[in-house]
Structure formats: structure tokens, C-alpha cells
């Protein structure tokens, strides 16, 4: 897959949220002194009476979000992924998840591709933290088009959401007529020999791997599992039954992320050889995004290697 056109997920988020705020007067937006980076400043400019910058106080932001949601508002609270859920886990657990309030935590700057900000700002544990919270919907869009659809869906479905966005611009995967469906995987390539299940930044790597493998007469199914919770169990079971091997790919720790969730379903329903392209129990470091993805084994070449491994074990 050629990386021709790229777009910002953060821009898609800010623009879509501002558009929704015109229609839904109950939408309230919170940010923790990062609105220019998260793009919630677009709402601040248009709806200053429904935007609150709480300052560098992310835990307090979640508490305020819970209070507003308890009063009937649809609340979008944004920060970097390393801070929410990283710094806010207790507040997300007690104030949002337990009472099942209508709070949408939209975190930007997820994963290693935060880049030069280094290990302290690279959230690679966030999906595990958010997914373990009962009642939370957890979504990782693949591109700006899907991001806009995810934000619209979250605004229209009651309950807690954690939505992880990337700092870097990503290649456009979907056309503008794409329709995101919460809890359903998106089939990007049909295949019969192996299935690659990927999320977020790793979608393009998965498509590139599938294209390379196709030239080597290996037919790869590629699934975008953008909804981590509730995950599409039927798509995973069908992949196991119909292709007989699965490789997962994520910009996240191997423990507790996409691979762990898929493995649980495969083990219970249709055990097949599996392999996992993910961060292997380490923190990141400062560097350019592409360099970090290469160093930590998150490239198309790494996916290709693991595809050969699972096929050899079929």
C-alpha cells in the first residue's frame, strides 16, 4: 500500500467535535492545558461557554467530567494518552466507570510515535488500563476518516469511552463514505492462508505486509480491529477457522493489549498458531517515529516474519 495522502487524526477530532457541538447543546468539552495539541481549541473558539481548560490537573478534569455527566451533559475530556488514563486511572475507575457515566476520554499522542518526547510521554500501556475498566468502550481508529466516524458514534451512544489517537499524521485508509460500526471489525483484505489483525498506526504496516506476502503467493486476510472493547469475537473466530493462523499488530505493550484479547478468544473457541507484533515488555525512548517503530519491531517486515512463523506451525 502506497502512503500517498496523510491526514491528522487530531484535526479530524477537533473539527468533528466542533460540528457536533453545533447540533448537540449538551456537549461539554474539557482539556488539561493541551487544547492546541489535542485540537479541542476548535471548540474553545466556537463555544467558550461549553469549554473548560482545567489547567495541568488531569485527575481533576476527570472528576469535573463525571460531575457534568451526572448532571446530564455529554462530556468529552482530552489530554495526552500518557496522562489519561495514565495519571487518571483511579478517577476513571471510581468516578466514570463505576457509575457508568457519559464521559468520552479522547487521548491524543498515544504510542511510541509520540517520538522525540521520549519514554515519559509514550503511552504504551493505556489500552490495557482502559480495557480492564467495566463498561468502557475502547476504540483505536486507523485514520482521520475513521476518527471522525468514531467521535460521532461516541457522541450518540451513552456511556464511557476511551478513544486513542496518534500524534503523527497517518495515511488515509478509508474513503469518505466509510461507516464505522462500534464492536465490528473492518475487513481490509480478504485472504485464506493467514489473518493479520491490527489497530491504529499498525494498519498500514499490516496492509504493506499483506501486499508483500501476496507477491510471494501467501494470501493474507487483514482486519482492522479498531473497537478493542467490545471486541468482534465472531470476526476473530471466523479468521481462526477460515485461515488457520493469526498475527496481531499493535503499537502497545504485548501484555494486555490487542494480542492478549485476541488470544483469549482464539484459545477458548478455535486454537490456532498465533504470533504478536508489539512492544516486548520495555519502555520507549526519544527518536523519530519511523526509527522507533523499526527499533521496537513494529514494521511491515516484522509482520511478514511473524506470518511465516505462524504458517510454519499450522
* Active-site amino acid positions: 58
What sign does the CA torsion over 138, 310, 205, 207 have?
negative
Q: Which three cell numbers stand for residue 224?
A: 482492522
> 313 by DSSP, 3-state: which?
coil
- Give the separation between CA 266 and CA 259, rounded to whole angstroms: 10
- Give the separation between CA 146 and CA 148, rounded to whole angstroms: 5
Beta bridge partners of 257: none
Q: Which residue has the cell 486454537?
A: 271
> 256 by DSSP, 3-state: which?
coil
- Give the separation between CA 79 and CA 58, rounded to whole angstroms: 7
Whether 215 and 278 have beta carbons less than 8 Å apart is answered as no
Please provide the distance, in angstroms rounded to a whole number, between the alpha carbons at the two ends of the chain.
27
Burial of 177 by CB count in 10 Å (0-12 exposed, 13-18 middle, 19+ buried)? exposed
Amino acid at each position: 500500500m502506497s502512503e500517498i495522502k496523510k491526514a491528522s487524526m487530531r484535526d479530524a477530532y477537533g473539527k468533528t467535535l466542533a460540528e457536533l457541538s453545533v447540533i448537540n447543546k449538551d456537549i461539554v468539552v474539557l482539556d488539561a492545558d493541551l487544547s492546541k495539541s489535542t485540537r479541542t481549541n476548535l471548540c474553545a473558539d466556537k463555544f467558550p461557554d461549553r469549554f473548560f481548560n482545567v489547567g495541568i490537573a488531569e485527575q481533576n478534569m476527570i472528576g469535573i467530567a463525571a460531575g457534568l455527566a451526572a448532571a446530564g451533559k455529554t462530556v468529552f475530556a482530552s489530554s495526552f494518552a500518557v496522562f489519561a488514563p495514565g495519571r487518571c486511572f483511579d478517577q476513571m475507575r471510581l468516578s466514570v466507570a463505576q457509575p457508568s457515566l457519559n464521559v468520552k476520554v479522547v487521548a491524543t499522542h498515544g504510542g511510541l510515535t509520540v517520538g522525540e518526547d521520549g519514554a515519559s510521554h509514550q503511552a504504551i500501556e493505556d489500552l490495557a488500563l482502559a480495557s480492564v475498566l467495566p463498561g468502557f468502550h475502547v476504540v483505536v481508529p486507523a485514520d482521520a476518516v475513521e476518527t471522525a466516524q468514531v467521535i460521532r458514534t461516541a457522541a450518540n451512544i451513552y456511556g464511557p469511552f476511551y478513544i486513542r489517537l496518534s500524534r503523527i499524521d497517518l495515511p488515509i485508509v478509508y474513503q469518505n463514505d466509510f461507516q464505522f460500526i462500534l464492536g465490528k471489525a473492518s475487513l481490509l483484505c480478504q485472504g485464506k492462508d493467514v489473518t493479520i489483525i491490527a489497530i491504529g498506526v499498525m494498519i498500514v504496516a499490516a496492509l504493506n505486509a499483506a501486499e508483500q506476502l501476496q507477491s510471494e503467493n501467501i494470501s493474507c486476510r487483514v482486519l482492522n480491529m479498531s473497537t478493542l472493547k467490545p471486541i468482534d469475537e465472531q470476526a476473530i473466530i471466523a479468521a481462526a477457522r477460515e485461515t488457520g493462523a493469526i498475527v496481531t499488530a499493535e503499537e502497545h505493550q504485548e501484555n494486555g493489549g490487542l494480542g492478549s484479547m485476541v488470544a483469549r478468544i482464539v484459545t477458548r473457541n478455535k486454537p490456532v498458531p498465533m504470533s504478536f507484533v508489539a512492544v516486548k515488555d520495555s519502555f520507549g525512548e526519544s527518536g523519530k517515529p519511523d526509527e522507533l517503530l523499526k527499533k521496537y519491531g513494529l514494521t511491515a517486515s516484522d509482520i511478514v516474519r511473524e506470518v511465516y512463523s505462524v504458517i510454519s506451525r499450522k
